[in-house]
Structure 1
Amino acid sequence: MKRIKKMKTNLWLIIFFLCLFSGRAQNGKVDKPNFIIIYTDDQGYNDLGCYGSEKIKTPNIDLMASEGLRLTNFYAQPVCGVSRAALMTGSYPIRVGEPNNIKMLHTVPDPQEVTMAEVLKSAGYATGLIGKWHLTGQGNSGPWSFDPATMPNAQGFDYFYGTPLFNGTTVYVEDTPSRSSILRNNDIVLDKVESWDHITKDYTWEAINYIKLNKDEPFFLYLAHNMPHIPLGASENFKGKSEYGPYGDAIEEIDWSTGEILQTLKDLGIDDNTLVIFASDNGPWVETTHSMIPGGKTFIPRDHSGSADPLKGWKMSAWDGGSRVPFIARWPGALKENRVSDEILTTMDLLPTIANLAGAEMPKDITVDGYDASAFLLGKEEVSPREDYLYYSGCLLTGVRVNEWKLVLPRSAKPDGLGWWGRLIEEVKTNQLYNLDKDPGETMNLADQNPDVVARLKKRIELARKELGDIDVTGEGARFFYDGPRRLQANLKK
């Protein structure tokens, strides 16, 4: 049956490409589709009009959803760096090889890892990153303190404009002496950013210029907004305008930005040859007091972070609100309009999916965790090739989802080996089982009523521990490019 299904899938794809490319050949050359991934930072599941927000106005993104596909069960990862690693490599971050075999809390893919940009570049694509990278390690060379071998230009991107890491970790820029820099390729454009008010507008014009410069060749643009990660910023046309407050201002400017990019594609006549994807890297950073300690020191005001409603949890947490995020895809003429699906898909699936659509070869000597979902994306199949998702907090395996069922494993509060990340992970004393289709807020533990489901999902957990690993186990399929054992940035206590 699987072989028959695969044959049907391949037949559909052949028919699709024949239809898509008919009439587009000029001088014997067939246009390949362009790809744009718009990736926001710390935007919650609820923080778009089409996902239920009543206070944040996002007419352009809502229109984008009505013109394409919106997913309700799309997963990234619970924290910024690991999320970007999963997107770029198509793998769970625990599988990804890192310099000197050290598993960082924010993943740093080793230069020997293969990125989405490298895969597309090998197929003749121009590759550009505008925005946040956050996949680099410390180094001693170059005009900045980052290892050039782990920067975008060395990882497949022809062009880079943005921040090497994040924009900050405080509510306001002036709360710390630390400052982020902005680079253009290997050159520092701005040494110290004192205000983030114009970053979204800046990235928008950079993105539009990149599209115009590369409109006559296939291109991949990764637009990774710094917003709405704190410290927040919004330009004059948006500051103080949102009913939600500063966080809403930032999202509404991103909505404007998305509208400008889509209009540019239309103006250039490449709208129907460009797949645009919108997603967030993780859930909202909700931490009103440090470590969410009742009565603790005030930290992030509520109008400076978003909402994952109706999901439980937020960024860094092991609940769905930490890793389930909005996903919208638009490709006029190729994707069905106004399609909403509850099927499971992840950022890891985008690499093999886009590679197939681009006619690019995936590396044959490495294992990825992503599935080619091109037939599902194009509406040729209603069922996603993915039925499961593993919940990892750093290298700690906290649970698994298979179809509607989610098993949450017992764990301690602030688990060992997670460093700063662990502060927002609370104790779970026993196995917990949730039907996410009926209970997205993870409120009704059904483990006692469904021992057979718990047992089945535990087998999936054991397979993951063997292949990928866990906080105390090195997986057989984890990649290492250096001699010696795996080490954790946040060491386990003896």
Structure 2
Amino acid sequence: MRRHSVTLICCLTLLLLSATSAVSAAAQQRQPHVVIILADDMGYGDVTALNADSRIPTPHLDQLARQSLTFTDAHAAGSYCVPSRYGLLTGRYMWRTRLGSGGNLANLAGTLIEPGRKTIANLMQDAGYQTGLVGKWHQGIDWKLHDERERAQIRIDPNYQNFKNIDFASPALKGPRDFGFAYSFGTAGSAEMNPAAFIENNRVTVIPTMTSAQAKAQHGEWYGRDDNIVAAGYTMDRLVPTLSNKACEFVETAVRTKPDQPFFLYYAMTTPHNPIVPHKEFMGKSKAGTYGDFVVELDYHVGKLLRKLDELGIADNTLVIFTSDNGPVNRTKGYPQRWVRGDTMIYGHDSNGPCAGWKGGLEEGGHRVPFLVRWPAFIKPGETCSTTIVFNDVLPTLAEMLDVPLDSSTAEDGVSFYQALQGESRPVSFHKALVHNHHNGTFAVRQGPFKLTIRGPKTVEDVLDDSIPVAYTLYNLDQDIEETTDIAKLHPQQVQQMHALLKQYVKTGRSSGSESP
């Protein structure tokens, strides 16, 4: 009898081990949760792990870097907010849109993403993910108007002030929910942009009625536009923690209500974009003035979200990407003191690390950004990767991860870097070339170590017009990261080849595909 009992116990033990092994294998094969954290106007050199000379403590980002694969040659899809976010969301360069090269969205302009265009949120939603956006949208919202005759004007007028014509009491006609985000909470644009209000699922949470002057009288010093329309309760000191709480809330709700369904969160932070207004508890926490303190606050809230993943027991199977939408602003000129309290330059801190240039420009400091990728169940931590990537690549990378084929009208300028995450292949680039864009419309082309700036053409039509005079500057970034020595005359064939690639990319409507290596 005892022998039979032992045999039965052994059989049950084997069955349990087999079942546990099967569950473990299933858990490993399960689609990961995905979180993209996007800082706003944060420089490569602001992260201590990427810049040993940084005067800003970033302990949570430093820990994330130790746990991540760090891309050292990653680029925003543009050197300022709108093109950067458009490229991340669609896998396509913004200069192909109605805004053209160097364009920007008016404060209350309609949506930029074209009807029917697949976004990263659409991709994730189609793959069975719960999708959420928390933070800065800045891809335009179509508000309901009382007088539709002003629709054309509101799309192009950056100083549209007829707020009485906007029906803020009704849901927007089109917003984040129409581009794949089942849940959204945040702001239409940057912290100071109109309307200064929280928007949840295409609808303001409080109807904005106050002027900037009234908001200043009610809340004290108002770090925003002088022509704002402001909702009660929308203040700079409340903005950042509110978004942080909402990001954590989305994650926790997704896991607890639908534990068997993965989630995708796009957390587009509003820090450290102007106005520079850190919460009082972070004042004096850096050695780089008020801007540095604002980055410390950003770091704290990144850590808060990462802790939430740990608390929920999902960190190992969550793919986290941290990056910034572009480089930092040149705070040494052009900004009123009420917007910028503390100049980083006088504190000996260099937000761009080894690079030159600023937000909006073509130099590396304008678009080379921190890019950390953590996925403990899959990615080896603590490594660096010098493969050149661009925001346009994120959508096709997630598509490859999920084994979802993309049609020819999706992510026309993106190439998957999934093999780099796996460690299978880390070439110089998965692209033949990248295209950078100045806020004034000027183009640059990056191929291998070379970066060619093409001065003269400032629209896509100009690029194809050979009658327009052209001037070139060429840099070898491997030898000259600060872009001090023009070598265009030494490499005429390289110059012509790269200029021809730009023309090809404009003419064919894509930069990925058969011409990629």
> Which interval holds the TM-score relative to the shorter structure?
0.7 to 0.9
**Contact 1:149–1:155 under 8 Å retained in 2:** no
The alignment status of 1:206 with 2:246, answered yes or no, reads yes
Q: Which residue of 2 aligns with 1:274?
A: 318
**Contact 1:97–1:110 under 8 Å retained in 2:** no
Q: SS state of the match for residue 25, structure 1?
A: helix
Deviation at 1:395, TM superposition (A): 8.6
| Alpha-carbon RMSD | 3.3
In 2, Cα distance between the equivalents of 1:301 and 1:313? Answer: 21
In 2, Cα distance between the equivalents of 1:232 and 1:60? Answer: 21
The runs of at least 4 aligned residues of structure 1 exceeding 6 Å deviation read 296-299
The change in CA–CA distance for 1:238 and 1:149 in structure 2 (over 3 A counts) is same
The alignment status of 1:345 with 2:392, answered yes or no, reads no
The alignment status of 1:357 with 2:401, answered yes or no, reads yes
In 2, Cα distance between the equivalents of 1:245 and 1:460? Answer: 43
Q: Which residue of 2 aligns with 1:110?
A: 114
Q: SS state of the match for residue 109, structure 1?
A: coil
Deviation at 1:148, TM superposition (A): 3.3
Instruction: Map 1:161-180 to 2 at 5 A.
Output: 161-168=185-192, 180=196
Aligned letter for 1:369?
D
Aligned letter for 1:449?
L
Encode CA deviations 1:417-470: one digit per residue, 9 max, x unaligned: 9xxxxxxxxxx983111011111110011112222222222222221232349x
The alignment status of 1:64 with 2:105, answered yes or no, reads no
The change in CA–CA distance for 1:183 and 1:154 in structure 2 (over 3 A counts) is same
Aligned letter for 1:166?
S
In 1, Cα distance between the equivalents of 2:141 and 2:123? Answer: 22
Alignment match of 2:137 (pick from 124, 133, 140): 133
**Contact 2:90–2:410 under 8 Å retained in 1:** no
Query: How many matched pairs?
Result: 424
In 2, Cα distance between the equivalents of 1:263 and 1:299? Answer: 32
Between Structure 1 and Structure 2, whose CA radius of gyration is higher?
A: 2
Q: Which residue of 1 aligns with 2:472?
A: 431
Q: Which residue of 2 aligns with 1:325?
A: 369
In 1, Cα distance between the equivalents of 2:134 and 2:342? Answer: 29
Encode CA deviations 1:151-175: one digit per residue, 9 max, x unaligned: 1111110111100111127xxxxxx
Deviation at 1:359, TM superposition (A): 3.6
**Contact 1:129–1:222 under 8 Å retained in 2:** yes
Q: Which residue of 1 aligns with 2:445?
A: 400
In 2, Cα distance between the equivalents of 1:320 and 1:47? Answer: 15
Q: Which residue of 1 aligns with 2:355?
A: 311
In 2, Cα distance between the equivalents of 1:380 and 1:22? Answer: 27
Encode CA deviations 1:235-291: one digit per residue, 9 max, x unaligned: 232123221122111211111111122222122111111000000001111153339
Identity %: 31
In 1, Cα distance between the equivalents of 2:416 and 2:171? Answer: 32
Deviation at 1:146, TM superposition (A): 10
In 2, Cα distance between the equivalents of 1:235 and 1:289? Answer: 24
Q: Which residue of 1 aligns with 2:280?
A: 236
Q: Which residue of 2 aligns with 1:462?
A: 503
Encode CA deviations 1:202-251: one digit per residue, 9 max, x unaligned: 22221111111112120000000011111123223212322112211121
In 2, Cα distance between the equivalents of 1:102 and 1:449? Answer: 29
In 1, Cα distance between the equivalents of 2:47 and 2:22? Answer: 34
Encode CA deviations 1:178-206: one digit per residue, 9 max, x unaligned: 66111121332243265312322222221
Q: SS state of the match for residue 157, structure 1?
A: coil
The alignment status of 1:95 with 2:139, answered yes or no, reads no
The alignment status of 1:334 with 2:358, answered yes or no, reads no
The change in CA–CA distance for 1:410 and 1:280 in structure 2 (over 3 A counts) is same
Structure 2 length-normalised TM = 0.75
Q: Which residue of 2 aligns with 1:55?
A: 55
Structure 1 length-normalised TM = 0.78
Q: SS state of the match for residue 105, structure 1?
A: coil
**Contact 1:122–1:360 under 8 Å retained in 2:** no
In 2, Cα distance between the equivalents of 1:34 and 1:314? Answer: 33
Q: SS state of the match for residue 237, structure 1?
A: helix
Instruction: Determine which structure has the larger helix proportion and give its number.
Output: 2
The change in CA–CA distance for 1:188 and 1:24 in structure 2 (over 3 A counts) is farther
**Contact 1:44–1:325 under 8 Å retained in 2:** yes
Aligned letter for 1:119?
L
In 2, Cα distance between the equivalents of 1:64 and 1:337? Answer: 9
Any stretches of 5+ residues in structure 1 without a counterpart? 1-19, 170-177, 418-427, 470-474, 478-494
Alignment match of 2:183 (pick from 149, 156, 159): 159
In 2, Cα distance between the equivalents of 1:387 and 1:78? Answer: 20
**Contact 2:79–2:366 under 8 Å retained in 1:** yes
The alignment status of 1:189 with 2:205, answered yes or no, reads yes
